[in-house]
Structure 1
């Protein structure tokens, strides 16, 4: 059994879009001593470390702001640290804990950074709307893997007072390991509450007067539906690379907002990591 666990990446993608992914593979069967072989070697072998550490350079490409037709490129350090599959620091998840965990599932919480933001300087159409700052969020998550299929759900709640409200991201994907390669693909959706949609897609009467955009009232609902694509390749015992692509389409309030200039969303992340 191989367990695939979001990191999204959600890469840094979790901080930019609420989505990210990563993977760890179990030890190959050849690493297990056959039955009946003397235990001297096994007894003298060093037990595996409870620490898993990987780091390296990365780059992510995402919309300049939610609903934007322009893309921005962000370099970032791809960091992935965990201890005993209990405590971890991965991408935008500054510090997290798997309260309940098993080879097949994880349930826990994390302090994460959401880098979604918007500035009036991003587009002339935004002048008069005011800015939206990135914010820290509380993340509650759970995932379950059965055979090659993994289902996951994560709730993000703004705890920085930057009007980003609450979002829930749910994904279902299938994974296929081939030698040193891993491929994952699957659909998902994002739900957002009224505060989130009002902040990023709503236009109040005051904002309308300042920006000349029509007023637009919002509420809670599905923000987007998307497809996740993930590929990783182990070059050696220590070096690995990965690419994540999330292609989505804005829905309902997000799609119909006068702020939105393109309904199609594309987020991608690529990184090269050195694993200890």
Structure 2
């Protein structure tokens, strides 16, 4: 199914909670059937139909995992947290994953595209001492679109999401390229590259320090612009114990770049996330 990954990125790690969403996306993607450990062309984390299913069937994945990740993008402190796994697809048209609720309006010869409704989680200044005085970032619904193209064993995908209930949370885009292969009859490995781009509002919300925030936190004023936020590598391994049960292991490394990397909030530019989960496929 998908990688981190993201996310909200989905991944990303756009924010502390979005980093968690990225972890969820990675594992949910891996819950998908053999030969699709990363994501469906419809979305970076929409599952593909299993060989036993038809395009008119439901495809439901449930599971639970644990992930270790930075407490916020750029943090040096890590935490472990439980990660619920949920992925639903119907008639190869509508899907619900950590990336959001989407529709394959276009679905032809490996190319898929359509609208996407998702969620930007917020950030609490109490998450880490480094954030004290910066205030909280409110969560927001986000709307956008995705497109992807699969030419086995490769897949490329992109999505764009704009916060719509708290528009100041900004616009976030992602691009991903994956290679997936079956390394044993039970094991599917996915390797990939990804990057995130954001507009100025997004960067200033998550990585900026305003005059007021500077006075409250002691950090210097910082006003980042839009552009490339991070680049990363990810790897997912799915081990299928049976037609229904699978274990998923993932690791992702992201490097904050450009204005995001220079933020006084950032303590560590290189971010690593990893985890393991157990999923059940109906």
**Category of TM-score, reference length = shorter chain:** 0.7 to 0.9
Give the TM-score normalised by the residue count of structure 2. 0.81
SS of the residue corresponding to residue 212 of structure 2 reads: helix
1:17-166 correspondence runs (5 A): 17=19, 19=22, 20-21=25-26, 22=29, 23-25=32-34, 48=54, 50-93=57-100, 95-102=101-108, 104-115=110-121, 117-161=122-166, 163-166=168-171
Deviation at 1:166, TM superposition (A): 0.7
Deviation at 1:129, TM superposition (A): 1.3
Residue 45 of structure 2: aligned partner: none
Q: Are 1:6 and 2:7 counterparts? A: no
Cα contact 1:141–1:153 (8 A) shared by 2: yes
Alignment length (residue pairs) = 252
Residue 169 of structure 1: aligned partner: 174
Cα contact 1:54–1:274 (8 A) shared by 2: yes
Larger radius of gyration: 1
* Runs (4+) off by over 3 Å: 5-13, 17-21, 23-27, 46-49
SS of the residue corresponding to residue 229 of structure 1 reads: strand
Structure 1 residues 147 and 92: alpha-carbon distance in aligned structure 2, compared to 1, 3 A threshold: closer
Cα contact 2:67–2:273 (8 A) shared by 1: yes
Cα contact 2:159–2:175 (8 A) shared by 1: yes
Q: Are 1:192 and 2:188 counterparts? A: no
SS of the residue corresponding to residue 160 of structure 1 reads: coil
Structure 1 residues 158 and 169: alpha-carbon distance in aligned structure 2, compared to 1, 3 A threshold: same
Unaligned 5+ segments in structure 1 are 28-45
Unaligned 5+ segments in structure 2 are 12-17, 37-51
Residue 245 of structure 2: aligned partner: 239
Q: Are 1:215 and 2:221 counterparts? A: yes
After superposing the two structures, state which structure 1 stretch, 48-57 or 175-184, moved more.
48-57
In 1, the alpha carbon distance for the partners of 2:156 and 2:259 equals: 26
Give the TM-score normalised by the residue count of structure 1. 0.82
Q: CA RMSD in A?
A: 2.5
